[in-house]
Each structure stands twice: as structure tokens, then as C-alpha cells.
Amino acid sequence: MEAKEVKDAKPKFGWCWLLLVSVIAILVIAAGVFTIVKDFKGSKKNPASHHSGPVVKKYADALEIALQFFDVQKSGKLVNNRIAWRGDSGLQDGIERNLDLSKGMYDAGDLMKFGFPMAFGATMLSWAILEYGEHMKAAKQLRHAQDSLKWITDFLINAHPSENVLYVQVGDPELDHECWERPETTRERRPLTQVNASFPGTEVAAETAAAMASASLVFKKINSYYSHILLEHAQALFAFADTYRGSYSVSIPQVQNYYNSTGYGDELLWAATWLYHATKDLSYLEYVTELNGQQFANWGNPTWFSWDDKHAGTHVLLSRVNIFGAKGILSEENLDLQMYRKTSEAIMCQLLPDSPTATSSRTESGLIWVSQWNCLQHAMASAFLAVLYSDYMVTSQISTLYCHGKLYNPADLRNFAISQADYILGNNPTKMSYLVGYGSNYPQYVHHRGASIPINANTSCKDGFMWLDSINPNPNVAVGAVVGGPFLNETYIDSRSNWMQAEPTTYNSALVVGLLSSLVRSSLAVESFT
């Protein structure tokens, strides 16, 4: 009928009318197709368009709580302090070398600033913001995350006063562990420890480079000058790390009792990968593929992602390059990127509980469990990588993951991540939330100096131990802390003297923030960080 009407109208309006109608129809169809494609892929210029689904209140509430632990851990002159029982501390840190190292964050329940795990925490917080900043914004937490990140990177900038010098520790851990006191009242000596060309520390210098490179992307649009400074430090530190190769555990033997490194090849790849994302300089991509991939990448051998081992994180971060593509990549480099992606897939297959290659490193209830010390680290890190890879798959329309004869989809990876997050938030045999301050049942005896000592207590180094040994719950809530977690049999002993289970770490908070922010709402991945 419509065709006949057009044909009948032809003598009256002529071929020009047909042409005009055709052009309009083509434009309408094209606009519709463009809208569909844009809605599916998300807009690089408008990250908000990659959202789908409402905010999940449970995870948004937990995210708000988790971010507060960064405020609990802050050193220095506090600004907009949200923790009533915390005050200024560490104001003289660095003064012996005419440096201002007052900022940064205390590592755990002690008063040490360890540069290696602190930088890792900054890198992970940056990654969380870059991937899920819009989720944080929807939960009204993005500004808090950015401010916490900058508190750490301000310290890292000052800790790198010259090209081949990086201060990696503030305080003496042996002296620190002989005392139990609030950071606001400590008077003990806080010596500085550095790595340099004569006593190198490749892994800590490279991790710090990764932290600064990733943070430079976070601040690129909101503070371009600061972003530029971070990137300059990142490039200089990477050159230092790569030129003067040597483990900081060898240069500084005392760190072996606290944050001993098992190797630096993974940190070199991790840092170069972040520098590639920050600069789009293909030389960094060449570094992680044909130049050093074979030597350092450990392709085909999945390992656990942690402050010490960055392989799994690097595999996933380079998978994003392979999945979404990038300009100027040579065929040889792309082949190596495929190896990173295949290893990422092997990691995902190990995490899925009913996969033919599922890891046995988990509790009966399904929590990833690798080590009795700070066991939740691996659960959170694994879950974060899983949900990231799930979002990469959805965005690029990859529908299946092949695991030795069995097929899985992105929802399976997300459900695994949800299972780990929910376990931490209280869906576990103890019915306890391991995120302090979340829910009605959470640890009351967290191994944490500031939380355990009343704000008006007048104690010094030794007599503060009365508060460690007290039978009373902590007078101050270490809100947002993620404690070490349960034993393999899924029991938890809530005792301050049980530091194996009851001590939180700052980098744990970065991991849980990443995990929770990924689950605040369902989403597609942002295809580019820039």
C-alpha cells in the first residue's frame, strides 16, 4: 500500500521528493543505530553513559564505611577530619633530611609508613577510581576516594627528592613494635630509609612509579598541573627502577621480616603497563611484550594478586588493551598481548568455583583462602579482577569464557565477585562482618593502637600495653577497617592479641573499595581511561 502511494505521487512531486524522503529515512535509521551502539559501548567522552542498573544500597553503604579507614590511617596535619578520635601526628617525619614526609598513611595497626604496600594501595585506589569512579560518584564517595589518594601521592612525591633516591620507610619497625601508643602522642625516633643507585630497590621504585602513573590519570582532568608532576615522577622512578636493578629486600635486609619481596620482574611490568596507559607511549608497551614479556610475565602460570605479586593485575590490565584495541600495536606485540589475555582467562577459570580448573584454595563456604596471614587480601583482589574481566567481556560483546571444555559467561564472574564481597560483609558461618562498622556484628577488638587507646589516656611507649591487654572492647571504632579474616576452618577469634586475624591494613582498604565500587551498580567498562 505504501509503495503504491509513493509510486502514485511520483508524477506530482518528481524525483527530488523521492531523494529527500530517502535521505531523511537514512538519517533516521543511522541515528537510531548510532544511539544503540553508543548506549551499548558507552561514551569515552561521557563515562556516565556506561551505567546500567540502579545503585545497590548494600554495597554503596559498605563503600562509604570502607573509605573512612583511610581517614583513620592518615598521618600529618589533618584536613576535614572525619574521625573524631584522630588528631595530627607525624608532623616531624622527614625533618632530619629537610623533607616533609608528614603525610602518607600508617600501614596497619602500627605507626609505620612502609612505602612498598602504601604505593600498592595507591595504585589499587587509582585503578578503582579509573574503572568505577562513576559508581563512586553515584554513591557520593568519589571525592573522598580522590582526597585519600592525593594524601598518599603527596607523600610519595616528597619521598622522591632526586632522580635516583626514594625514601621507602618512615620509622623503625623493631622500635615501633616495642611500643603501644597513639600516633598523636608518640615521641620515639622515626628514622628514614631510602633506596638509591648504590642500594637499589627495583620493586618499591617500580610500584611507586605505578602509583604515580595511575594517579596521574585520576587527576588529569581535575588537576592537570598535579597530574603532570605525578607523571614526571613516575617516568623518572621507572627509569631508576629499571636501570639499577636489585631487590630492596637485599639492599635493606630488615624489611624481610615485614614486607619481603619475592622478586621485582612483576613490578617492572606493572609499572610499564600503567605508564603506557598514562602516556600512550608505545615504548612502554614494547617493554612489557617483546622486550621483557618472556622473561618476567610468567605466562600460563596464574598466581595470586597481592602487594608482593603483581602478575595477575598486569595480565588483566594488558588484557584490556588486547580486548579494546589500541593504535600502532605491532603484530608481535599483539601476539604477546594475547598471551597476557590467555593467562587472564586461566586466572578467571581458577576462580570460578565449579570450573574444571577451579582452585582448591578456598574455604568450605567458598571464600578464596591462600594464607592464614591477612587471608582476605587474596579474596578481595581476586574478586576485583573477576568483576573487571566480566565488565570487559560485556563491553566488548564477548559472551563466553572457555574453561577446559566448560563454558561460562560474564555473569558467572560477577556472581563469584559478589560471593566474596557478601562473605566479607557477613554472609559467612560466623555471621560477622569483617568490615568494621558495617552491620550490627563486627570485630570489637581490632589490633590497632589508636582504636584501642582512649583519646584522653596519658600513656607513653611501654605503659600503653595496658590497652593492648585490656579485656574491654576498643573505645574507638576503627571504622572501615578490613581485618585479616577467618582461619581456613572459617572461625575468627576476636582478640587484640590475635594480630594474625585481627589486624587491618591500609592496602586492604584499597582492595575492598575497588571491589565494592565495582558492585555498586551493574555496568559496562569504560573503554579508555583518558
Quote the CA–CA distance of 334 and 13 in Å, as a whole number: 56
**Grid cell 620482574 in the structure block, residue:** 265
Q: Is the pLDDT of residue 45 over 70?
A: no
> Residues 183-209: what's their mean pLDDT?
97
- pLDDT band at 175, cuts 50/70/90? very high
On whether the CB atoms of residues 408 and 352 are closer than 8 A, the answer is: yes
Q: What is the model's pLDDT at position 508?
A: 97
In a domain, 25, yes or no: no
Task: Count the domains in the chain.
Answer: 1
In a domain, 515, yes or no: yes
Q: What is the pLDDT of residues 75-108, one digit of tens each?
A: 999 999 999 999 999 999 999 999 999 999 999 9
Q: What is the model's pLDDT at position 11?
A: 31
Of residues 8 and 151, more confidently modeled: 151
Q: Which of 515, 262, 502 is nearest to 372 (CA)?
A: 502
In a domain, 26, yes or no: no
> Residues 115-133: what's their mean pLDDT?
98
Q: What is the model's pLDDT at position 141?
A: 98
DSSP designation for 474: P
The helix (run of H) or strand (run of E) holding residue 336 is helix 331-351
In a domain, 24, yes or no: no
Q: What is the model's pLDDT at position 327?
A: 78
- pLDDT band at 135, cuts 50/70/90? very high
In a domain, 285, yes or no: yes
Quote the CA–CA distance of 96 and 101 in Å, as a whole number: 10
Q: What is the model's pLDDT at position 6?
A: 32
Q: What is the pLDDT of residues 293-328, one digit of tens each?
A: 999 999 999 999 999 999 999 999 999 999 998 878
Q: Where are the beta strands (DSSP E) in 252-409?
A: 401-403, 406-408
**pTM surpassing 0.85?**
yes
In a domain, 138, yes or no: yes
Q: Is the pLDDT of residue 25 over 80?
A: no
Give the residue ranges of DSSP H helices in 396-505: 410-424, 449-452, 465-468, 499-502
In a domain, 326, yes or no: yes
Q: Which of 338, 333, 320 is nearest to 287 (CA)?
A: 333
The helix (run of H) or strand (run of E) holding residue 407 is strand 406-408
* Alpha-carbon distances of 226 from 98, 115, 434, 464, rounded to whole Å: 22, 20, 35, 40
pLDDT, mean over the chain:
90
- CATH code, domain with 425: 1.50.10.10
* Alpha-carbon distances of 73 from 175, 298, 505, rounded to whole Å: 19, 35, 9
Percentage of the chain modeled with pLDDT above 70: 90
Q: Is the pLDDT of residue 238 over 50?
A: yes
Give the residue ranges of DSSP H helices in 396-439: 410-424
Q: Which one from 50, 144, 378, 447 is the annotated catalytic residue?
A: 447
> Residues 210-233: what's their mean pLDDT?
98
Q: Is the pLDDT of residue 387 over 50?
A: yes
Single-letter residue type at 374: N
Name 304's Cβ contacts closer than 8 Å, sequence gap at least 6.
312, 361, 370, 378, 381, 382
Q: What is the model's pLDDT at position 52?
A: 63
Q: What is the pLDDT of residues 406-438, one digit of tens each?
A: 999 999 999 999 999 999 999 999 999 999 999
- pLDDT band at 14, cuts 50/70/90? very low
Q: Is the pLDDT of residue 177 over 60?
A: yes
> Residues 238-243: what's their mean pLDDT?
98
On whether the CB atoms of residues 66 and 480 are closer than 8 A, the answer is: yes
List 376's β-bridge partners, or say none: none
Residue 447 among the catalytic residues: yes
In a domain, 226, yes or no: yes
Quote the CA–CA distance of 94 and 397 in Å, as a whole number: 51
Q: Is the pLDDT of residue 203 over 90?
A: yes
Q: What is the model's pLDDT at position 463?
A: 92
Residue 405 DSSP SS3: coil
Structural domain containing residue 513: 42-519
Q: What is the model's pLDDT at position 333?
A: 86
